[in-house]
Structure 1
Amino acid sequence: MIERNGYPTDVTDEQWALIEPVIAAWKAARPSATGNVSRYSMRAVVNAIQYQNRAGCSWSLLPNDLPPYWTVKYFFYQWRDDGLDATICELLRTRVRERAGRTEDPSLVVLDAQSVHAANNVPAATTGKDPAKRVPGRKHGIAVDIMGLIIAVVVVAACVHDNQVGTALLSKVAAATSSVKTALVDQGFKTAVVEHGAELGIDVRIVERNPRDAGFVPQPIRWRVEQTYGTLILQRRLTRDYESNPRTTESRLYWAASTIMLRKLTGTAAPSWRGA
């Protein structure tokens, strides 16, 4: 038997120690009805999810030295439906903020939406065409703190107006923490988002672009969300929206964000785009 050498996307011992208690608690709360114990470790399942996110492959193309794709798929969907992906992301976010000398939860967030092309297998009922950017597919909305760490994710058809994305994100932010008092958005978001924020006790400020600026000019603080999008897209599974269910895309965004934060917390360099 050939010894498994592992992949650059595998979690290290130090990284696994950060998330293992959460996954172990989830598994302990759901004992097998037959008493059977899975022959595959939860760490191996996480390795497979991270590999797929980075490589962008389909389920059936997962390497043979990782758990069978049907096993990985089962746990991925279970964790998605139980919100474990978001729980892990939130745990890591608070730890990254604490390490930076900040409070666990932010007082300011930045919202944005990005339209992404959808693959051919994605149901037409959950996609649309962004009239402004002329992108047929889905719209990925995220709320990040001043460090660019994800707090909330929303995935809808690309034809959905930014107002709906913004209000949904604000609702998720308010449900996750009561500390947020200010939200910055770009000019794609309108009065409806401002009014919804006021109802939640969040002051939504529309950051207007200077009309004299030519090309892309980073806006103070708001550029953090652009940086986050640029980092997330290094996960090849996110370069297009391949998922039949928008919630699956949300889960992949949470896992991608968790991967980034695990590296921040352990001082691990990300594999290069060309090298991995």
Structure 2
Amino acid sequence: MTNRQSYQTDLSDARWALIAPVLQEWRDQRRRRALDIGRPPIHDLREILNALLYLDRTGVQWRYLPHDFPPHQTVYGYFAHWQRDGVFEDLHGLLHHLTREAEGRDSRPSAGAIDTQSVKTSTSVPLTSQGTDAGKKIIGRKRGVITDTTGLLMVLLVLAADASDSAIGLRLLDTAHHLFPRLRKIWADSAFRKTCVEHAARLGIDLEVVQRTPGTRGFAPIPHRWTVETCQAQCTHGVGSVGVSSGSFQSRRLYQPGGRVRRSRSMASSCWSAWAMRRCGQQLSRRVVIQPRLIQL
């Protein structure tokens, strides 16, 4: 790591130790595919990731990245390669696996919650990749997620905001069933009460609609659904939206600054590659599915 004044978004040594083997293996594979020809890499992978975390947290444009980070063209190049090569999904799957085990749970979740949310996009996102949510009067994109019972993200789907909740639910269920065969129970709101319930049953999943308690006034956590609602709120209030923040990670949930195992119920969970939901919108197609993958080190 270079000698510079640290930023609050920088990775701690313990968190970097979780991620470093995956990124180094990616770099080594690229060198092998290129027959080890060309100039050796000169930029520290940790600094590249620190730069992405700084961008995600502060929301600055690429060109305004502080000069003590690698050049913004280099940082964006790594980001594009990692997104294309599935590195973010690999990291998410690994951290999801480790976080659940650290909290004394089976690494393969058996229950979760599903939800959607329409969000506005930045002015740099082309209108052709957006839609209008007529019910909420929002022009932008719609984010569909399934989380486990601790709020860790399992599946993310980003569509134009004019997509129906049922259409999103069907695709989320198919993806979750493929990636998590042990999944048997999902809680949802009334937007998924018909088509999705029947489709889930065919997949062997019990999708239960959880209603707000009649007569409740003001804010009240909804049983079983509060985890996915909290995850959505974390995604919305983060400048970079769903994004590189996941591991800002699920590794936070694994380690405190002193390196101790963390058992908090923090909802700092999201899917790395979907950072492009608000940023780099021109690189995001109208319909994108993020599918975390588990890998072995």
User: Normalising by the residue count of structure 2, what TM-score does the alignment of the two structures yield?
Assistant: 0.81
Q: Distance in 1 between matches of 2:243 and 2:199?
A: 25
What are the equivalent positions in structure 2 for 1:11-160 lying under 5 Å apart?
A: 11-31=11-31, 32=34, 34-160=37-163
What percent of counterpart residues are identical?
34
> Measured at CA, do residues 126 and 169 of structure 1 come closer, stay the same or move farther in structure 2, by a change above 3 Å?
same
Matched, 1:7 2:7: yes
Give the SS at the match of 1:144: strand
Instruction: Give distance in 2, aligned partners of 1:200 and 1:81.
Output: 30
Q: Note the alpha carbon deviations across 1:86-120, whole angstroms, 9 max, x for none.
A: 11111111111111110001100111111111222
Equivalence for 1:265: 254
CA-CA distance at 1:216 after TM superposition: 3.5
Match of 1:236, SS? coil
From the superposition, tell whether residues 127 and 190 of structure 1 become closer, same or farther in structure 2 (CA, over 3 Å): farther
The alignment partner of 1:233 has SS state of helix
Taking the TM superposition and a 5 Å limit, the aligned residue runs for 1:160-199 are 160-199=163-202
Partner Cα separation in structure 2 for residue 266 and residue 124 of structure 1? 41
1:155 Cα deviation (Å)?
0.6
SS of the equivalent of 1:36 reads coil
* Alignment check: 8 A CA contact 1:57 1:237 kept: no
Amino acid at match of 2:252: R
Instruction: Give me the whole-angstrom Cα distance separating, in 1, the residues matched to 2:87 and 2:174.
Output: 19
> What is the identity, as a one-letter code, of the residue corresponding to 2:245?
A
Please tell me the root mean square deviation across aligned C-alpha atoms, in Å: 1.9
Q: What amino acid maps onto 2:15 in structure 1?
A: Q
Which digits, 9 at most, give the CA deviation of each residue in 1:27-54, with x for residues without a partner? 1111146332121111111101111110
Matches of 2:75 and 2:173 in 1, distance apart? 32
Residue 237 of structure 1: CA displacement?
2.1
Residue segments in structure 2 that go unaligned for 5+ positions in a row: 259-265, 267-297
Structure 1 residues 81, 195: closer, same or farther in 2, change over 3 A?
Answer: farther
Q: From the superposition, tell whether residues 142 and 220 of structure 1 become closer, same or farther in structure 2 (CA, over 3 Å).
A: same
Structure 2 contact 56–243 (Cα < 8 Å) conserved: no
Distance (whole Å) between structure 2 residues aligned to residue 182 and residue 203 of structure 1: 5
- Tell me the amino acid that sits aligned with residue 4 of structure 2: R
Mapped partners of 2:12, 2:111: distance in 1: 32
CA distance in 2, matches of 1:5, 1:234: 27
Report the TM-score when normalising by structure 1.
Answer: 0.87
